[in-house]
Every structure is written in structure tokens, then in C-alpha cells.
Amino acid sequence: MVPPLDPAAENERRVNIVQGEQRVSGDRSVVLTTLLGSCVSACMRDPIAGVGGLNHFLLPGDRPGAGASMSHGVHAMELLVNALLCQGARRERLEAKLFGGANLMRSLTDVGAMNAAFAEDFLRREGIKHTGGSLRGARGRRIQFWPVSGRARQVWMQSEEVLPLVVERRSPRQAVVSGALELF
């Protein structure tokens, strides 16, 4: 039996977020989506300002010398908070749900647990209310987040679906060539 279509879903605009990206929106029609294995995403919002966002980071990056890459949690979390503040959110009203941090390759270092611990600690240090989510475990997740309402949905992935997570990345942007000048 096919479930009835949700009339609101027809008007939704899905925005997929991959490793190293983040997006903030105050548009009720936007649904932010991502696939997570050992990576973590913070779904954060200000319920009064009606704005929220989602990031997706690969490594905690909270150690000295880790660099300031969007793939690192410390940078990704700061960028998400700052983007929300720029859209009218107030730090004291922020609330977050955390997802991901699975241990997909048991024989290797548990990067997922390190990511999860980093994200929880970041919220605690910054005084951001942690309202839920799903961290750790052994399976990947598909996440949908409605940034204005704060609604989040998680769908567990089957083990054979997890392999693409290891190589998930946006393809590099092509350089624009105009005469003898390369723009990138």
C-alpha cells in the first residue's frame, strides 16, 4: 500500500549538505538533508527568530594544529553559529540536535565517537541547549531537518548503503577560463 502524499511535501525545496558544508535558512519550504556515517551534523535553530541550519563535519579538529577546514567540527560549528547570528538568531536562544558519529569500521580508530564527543562538548561549552538527536551506533543515517520548525527526521541506512559515505564529496568546481586569465 502506498502512503498518501503529504501535501506540504510537494512545496518543499530540498537542499543536500555534504561533508564540509553548512546551510542556514529562514524559509519554511526548505528541508536540509544529509547522509551521515562517522561524520556528525548539528541541526541548530533559534525558535523565536525562525531561522535554523545544518552542518556536516568529518573530523573534530579540536586539537592544536588541526587547521580551519569546514571538514573539522570546531570550524563547522563556529561557522554555523555565526551564520545563524547573522540571520537574526540570538546565542542564548539557540537549540541543537546532533546526529551521526557511527562506528562504521570497527578495526580502525572510532572517529565517530570522537566527533560525537566533540559536538556534545561544544554545545556544553557554548551554552547551547541540546534538545535531542541520535549519536554513535554502528549504522549510517539519512537526516532531514526543517530549519524553521526544528523538526528532524532520521532514517537508518542498511549496511550496504554505507559504503558511498566513505567517498561522498562534492565534485571540485571547474575553473572558469576567460582568455588567458583563470578565475577560481
- Catalytic residue positions, numbered: 39
The answer to whether residues 53 and 44 touch, using CB atoms and an 8 Å cutoff, is yes
Asked whether 84 and 46 are in contact (CB, 8 A), the reply is yes
What is the arrangement of strands in the sheet containing 152-156, beginning at the earlier edge strand?
13-16, 30-36, 141-145, 152-156
Amino acid at 113: A
Q: Looking at the chain, list the stretches that DSSP marks H as alpha helix, in order from N- to C-terminal side.
A: 73-86, 111-126, 163-167
Asked if 127 contacts 87 with a C-beta cutoff of 8 angstroms, the reply is no
Residue 4 DSSP code: P
What one-letter code names the amino acid at 135? Answer: L
What pairs with residue 129 in β-bridges? 95
Say if CB 45 and CB 150 are below 8 A apart.
yes
Q: Cα angle vertex 116, ends 127, 66, to 5°?
A: 90
Query: What is the rounded distance in angstroms from the CA atom of residue 44 to the CA atom of residue 139?
Result: 23
